[in-house]
Amino acid sequence: MRVPNAAVRRARAAAPDLTETMPTHTFMELALDEAYAAADAGEVPIGCVIVCDGDLIAQAGNRTLAERDPTAHAEMVAIRRAAEALGSERLVDCDLYVTLEPCTMCAAAISFARIRRLYFGATDEKGGAIVSGVRFFAAPTCHHVPEVYSGLAETRSTELLRSFFRERR
């Protein structure tokens, strides 16, 4: 498994203006970078970025340990940061990229935030809520459903989680 080094991460962070022309797989690469950074910090390695009209506006990894907050999943942290960046509780025209299928809480937050498109990497049969489990967006009580695309960087997302939990055992 190739782990992007710190210099690559810094170069990417220093060049956010390049994101306008970035294709979707590159945004998933940035989400993966956040997942690797979360792993380095001892968090469950899941990463997320939010893109508004082609501009990267928020990025985050899981922060449940750092924040001592069970709701600090990568998607929740990224949504909070995006809302702050836009000065709006509705993330209209925003697309969310996350390395793992979102859980029920995050699926609900994605719906409440009016996210336009959801891209996720690996499916999560145990904790996911999009194509697994409760399939939140298919519920009649879900009032905003984003377009959903799955399977981006699926292998690396899965391997990152596997190696993390292997090391912890």
* Interface with Zn ion, residue 73, by CB under 5 A: yes
Among residues 48, 79, 103, 113, the one that binds Zn ion under rule CB under 5 A: 103
> How many residues interact with Zn ion (rule CB under 5 A)?
3
Among residues 94, 106, 113, 152, the one that binds Zn ion under rule CB under 5 A: 106
Nearest to Zn ion of 129, 152 (CB atom): 129
123, 129, 134, 135 alpha-carbon torsion, rounded to 10°? -80
Cα separations (Å) of 30 from 3, 14, 35? 12, 13, 9
β-partners of residue 148 are 118
Nearest to Zn ion of 107, 153 (CB atom): 107
Please report how close the Cβ of residue 114 comes to Zn ion at its closest, in angstroms: 18
Query: Which pairing describes strands 147-150 and 55-61: parallel, antiparallel, or unpaired?
Result: unpaired
- Are residues 96 and 52 in contact, defined by beta-carbon separation less than 8 angstroms? no
Note if 43 is an active site residue. no
Nearest to Zn ion of 12, 121 (CB atom): 121
Task: Spot the catalytic one: 29, 34, 43, 75.
Answer: 75
- Which residues are known catalytic residues? 75
**Which positions lie near Zn ion, rule CB under 5 A?**
73, 103, 106
